[in-house]
Chain A
Amino acid sequence: EVQLVESGGGLVKPGGSLRLSCATSGFTFDSYRMNWVRQAPGKGLEWVSSISSSSIYIYYADSVKGRFTISRDNAKRSLYLQMYSLRAEDTAVYYCARDSTVVAGENCFDPWGQGTLVTVSS
């Protein structure tokens, strides 16, 4: 069974930092592009960042560029999101999501983890 389990969320003050992790199992991790998507309370989905299978290609939404860093450790089958200079508007549930296939360009997401809540507040 494919599983994605996020951790690392919590309460942080504005300007603070947090590192999210996503532990995976049940598939060949180093073959898939991986992604972070967030959802503010009561709001819609917002793509945050993507990283290719070998970490060569990395992309960020404009809203987080320069503040967030995506990375992966294929040996540990894990995905990470290092978040700096956090703002109130970064408050959201952060989901880890795998590309649905290994086919290049098929960048839709399945499956998703259960999400981890990040709250930025003083």
Chain B
Amino acid sequence: DIQMTQSPSTLSASVGDRVTITCRASQSISTWLAWYQQKPGKAPKLLIYRASTLESEVPSRFSGSGSGTEFTLTISSLQPDDFATYYCQQYDNYLITFGQGTRLEIK
């Protein structure tokens, strides 16, 4: 199975900050990577797919980059609604795996 490792596990930041979350794959997955946002008690929401394509209606302050084994999710200017947990997901093969999550909390 392809292992996905996110860092950091927890990130403390303030409104207006620029933040970056990293996701590393145990082997190359090309750009078959998605990012999700999950708030407590809610289902995850797709933000980005194919590593860098923004899902419709997702604010442009979110961006994704990377290919192969290293990927990043960047939020250019944090808004109050962005404090949540973020997951990466690889879909390079049929054995889909998620990262362990990054909790973004208010400093």
Enumerate chain A interface residues (CB-CB to B < 8 A): 35, 44-47, 50, 57, 59, 61-62, 95, 97, 100, 105-115
* Chain B residues positioned under 8 Å from A50 (CB to CB): 94, 96
Q: Give me 17 A-to-B residue pairs in the complex whose CB atoms sit less than 8 angstroms apart, sorted by A's number.
A: A35-B96, A44-B87, A44-B100, A45-B44, A46-B98, A47-B97, A50-B94, A62-B1, A97-B43, A100-B49, A106-B91, A108-B89, A108-B91, A109-B34, A109-B46, A110-B55, A113-B43
Interface size on B, residues (CB 8 A): 23
Which parts of B68-107 form the interface with A (CB within 8 Å)? 87, 89, 91, 94-101
Min C-beta distance of B10 to chain A, whole Å: 13
Are B100 and A107 neighbours in the complex by a CB distance under 8 Å? no
Chain A, Cβ-Cβ closest to B38 = A45
Give the distance in Å from the alpha carbon of A44 to the alpha carbon of B43 in the complex: 12
Cα(A46)–Cα(B96), bound, Å: 9
- Given A44-B87, A62-B1, A112-B43, A106–B96 Cβ distance below 8 Å? no
Residues of A within 8 A of B87 (CB): 44-45
The smallest C-beta distance from B49 to any residue of chain A, in angstroms, reads 5
Q: In the docked arrangement, what's the CA distance between A52 and B72, Å?
A: 30
